[in-house]
Amino acid sequence: MRKDTHRTLRLRLWLLGLGFTAALAGICARAVMLQVFDGPRLSRKAADQVEDSVKTAGKRGTIYDRRGQEMAVSVTVSSIAARPAEIPDREAAVRELAAVLRMKPQEVRERLDSPRKFVWIKRQAGPRETESLRRKHLPGIEFVSETNRFYPNRSLAAHVLGFTGVDGRGLEGVEFYYDAFLRPSEVSVKVLKDARRAGFLTELPAGRDPDGKNVILTLDHGIQYLAESALNEAVAAARARSGMAIVMEPTTGAILALAIAPSFNPNAYEEAPRPLWRNRAVTDPFEPGSIMKIFLAAAALEHTPLSPRSTFHCENGRYQIGRHTVHDVHHYGVLSFQDIIRYSSNIGAAKIGGAVGPERLHETLSRFGFGRKTGIDSPAETSGLLPPYRKWAEIDTAAISFGHGMSASALQLASAVSAIANGGVLMKPHLVSAVTDAEGREVERFAPVAVGRAIRPETARTLREILQSVLLPGGTGVLAALDGYTACGKTGTARKVDERGQYVNDRHLASFIGFAPAEDPRITVLVVIDEPKGQVYGGAVAAPVFKKIAQATLTRLNVPPAPAGGGKLRVAVDGGGRG
């Protein structure tokens, strides 16, 4: 009896061991199958449940002024994304997202109805929106870190800087022109999901630097502020439509300031009318008026025996050319070449233009860059208009001699006058001096570029003497005379055309352009006031703005004043014109 009991017990133990062995073998076999044969497939499946890959970009490069002041930077913000397949109650999600993000429910619904696995709901959401949404712990909603462009000086230099779109690409100005340098590169990063299925970014791949390059402007933050302040004040005082001002280094072509009034805030560019985005100093041509007498004088000195002492009869204010009549503001008799420029006589200019002739005048204007783009590093530049000389009638030569019948941009005028200031060489204007990497190492430098010689050095010297007389008592630019510095310049007043292409008497462009100090020019300054009310002459409206900008700029650049009594011109004084 006892022997049977032991036999039964051993049989049970043997069967139990056999069962455990079989179970263990099954487990091992299954493990082998999962690890060896199904491992890669299951790893991918597991990874899909806890991680995903999203393309993101580094920070856009910073834009600095010439002194290292930040003009445009990138700040980190959160963008809201969704994985529609992981949202259990889509209508509830639509209501929550629309309320928090201040979006239309239909817009949110259309995005969630997308067949794609990953969709953007709102790029670059505000901090309050992001935090409010995080607290709701909505399933299938993810927060992706991106960068947003920020302009710390608000509207300062807005037309130079431009702005970027929501995708971070430059749309206007330097942001657009240098987008290839500034734009960061894209990298793929893992998005890990926590227990609530919320996503968060891991670190960027080691060894990758996706950040964009930095751009160094030629602008001076302080000079830009001075120019904008003086221009805005003048436009308001004159009840003008708009205004422009440029400050340029004549020896290099570097732009120290470029101001447009009215301006806009690039942080909220979409709130400004689209035409306001345009950098009109670069894109818009206009008839310059009497400023062009500078280049007429250059043509006469280069191509004729005329000298500053040569005389012309100015017909007492009324001069007939065919069926056309040229007028002067004042009734001048005989004036010297120099006084024609100093008093801004249109009739005298017409007669000098006749002595130069269409071909030589056109040649000289072309050498100064009129009729073609300057090549500045800014988008949508105009070439202006300089008609072929073979098509000029006698009245066309006369009109172009005093700045009508052709057009130029503010930038072309500043570049051309800078050629006189530097001794006769036309320089290519530029807004950017260098590109650096994130550590500040220089990647590329843009050296000054000489386009070509416009006039002989001796012609430039004679022109500087003539233009210096414009700012002395009796000249049209007396209100531009600086305190402690010598200066040269020229006034301009041009009637505008109406919608029918006819010149009208109640719309004018008032301008002044000059450089200082006269003996060693460091800056060229142009001021244009569009449609001033009341006083309309360049000598009254624009010349005082030139003085304010030039005076402050020379001080900021630490240019020493002229010695007492130095650098002055002696000229005869008698009743002047208005320019």
Domain boundaries, the chain: 221-556
304 DSSP 8-state letter: S
Mean pLDDT of the chain, nearest integer? 89
Give the model's pLDDT for residue 301.
Answer: 98
Average pLDDT of the residues in 510-531: 98
Least confident span in 59-73, 205-219, 362-376: 205-219
pLDDT, one tens digit per residue, over 422-469 is 999 999 999 999 999 988 999 999 999 999 999 999 999 999 999 999
Contacts of 161 (CB under 8 A, 6+ apart): 63, 71, 72, 151, 173, 174, 175, 266
Catalytic site residue from 74, 263, 290, 469: 290
Task: State how far the alpha carbon of 343 is from the alpha carbons of 292, 338, 414, 531, in Å.
Answer: 14, 9, 21, 22
pLDDT in tens, 316-362: 999 999 999 999 999 999 999 999 999 999 999 999 999 999 999 99
For CA atoms 454, 459, 460, 464, the dihedral sign is negative
pTM above 0.95, yes or no: no
Whether 290 is a known active-site residue: answer yes
Per-residue confidence (pLDDT) for residue 34, from 0 to 100: 56
> From CA 223, how far away is CA 31, in angstroms rounded?
75
Euclidean distance between CA atoms 436 and 64, whole angstroms: 10
Per-residue model confidence (pLDDT) at position 286:
97
Confidence of residue 1 (pLDDT cuts 50, 70, 90): low
Q: Give the number of other CB atoms < 10 A from CB of residue 579.
A: 30
Which of the listed CATH numbers 1.10.3720.10, 3.40.710.10, 3.40.50.1100, 3.20.20.70 matches domain 221-556? 3.40.710.10
Give yes or no for a contact between 352 and 401, defined as CB atoms under 8 angstroms apart.
Answer: yes
Going by C-alpha positions, the residue among 533, 473, 506, 481 that lies closest to residue 343 is 473
Task: Kindly tell me if the per-residue pLDDT of 251 is higher than 80.
Answer: yes
pLDDT at 116: 87
Tens digit of each residue's pLDDT (9 = 90 or more) over 273-309: 999 999 999 999 999 999 999 999 999 999 999 999 9
CA 48 – CA 514 distance, rounded (Å): 68
How far is 399 from 406, CA to CA, in rounded Å? 9
Q: Which helix (H) or strand (E) holds 454?
A: none
Note whether 205 and 189 are within 8 A (CB): yes
Query: Does pLDDT of 402 surpass 60?
Result: yes
- 468 Cβ contact partners less than 8 Å away, ≥ 6 residues apart: 486, 487, 488, 518, 569
Average pLDDT for 240-265: 98
Please give the average per-residue pLDDT across 170-195, as a whole number.
82
Query: How many other CB atoms sit within 10 Å of the CB of residue 272?
Result: 17
What mean pLDDT is predicted for residues 222-231?
98
Instruction: State yes or no: pLDDT of 544 exceeds 60.
Output: yes
Q: How confident is the model over 492-503, as a mean pLDDT?
A: 90
Give the model's pLDDT for residue 568.
Answer: 45
pLDDT band at 392 (very low <50, low <70, confident <90, very high): very high
Neighbours of 317 (CB within 10 A): 16
pLDDT digits (tens, 9 = 90+) for 81-116: 999 888 888 888 888 899 888 999 899 888 988 888
| CA angle, residues 144, 145, 147, in degrees to nearest 5 | 135
**230-243 as b/e, with b when 16 or more CB fall inside 10 Å?**
bbbebbebbebbbb
